[in-house]
Amino acid sequence: NENYKRMEAFMPLTGDFRRPIAMEITPEGILYVLEYGTIYGADNVDARLVRVDYHDGNRAPVAKITANDSVGL
């Protein structure tokens, strides 16, 4: 209908889909993505079905740590 406004990001930029070929959203809001994998053919060890759950509201914090081992303060 040419009335697209925007799309919200639903995964981090580091998401790792490998040639997705199909996706489905269930009535419960679960996203399933079927991936072919990094290569085409029967020897495809990383083909997979991925489940992405949506959790609204506040999310648990992500702990991050950095270290600096330089001497001479």
pTM: 0.55
Give pLDDT tens digits for 1-30.
888 888 777 666 666 778 888 999 998 888
Give pLDDT tens digits for 23-73.
999 988 888 989 888 877 777 888 889 898 876 676 677 888 888 777 655
Q: Tell how strand 48-52 and strand 20-25 pair up.
A: unpaired
pLDDT score of 24? 92
Radius of gyration for the chain, computed over Cα atoms and rounded to the nearest angstrom = 19
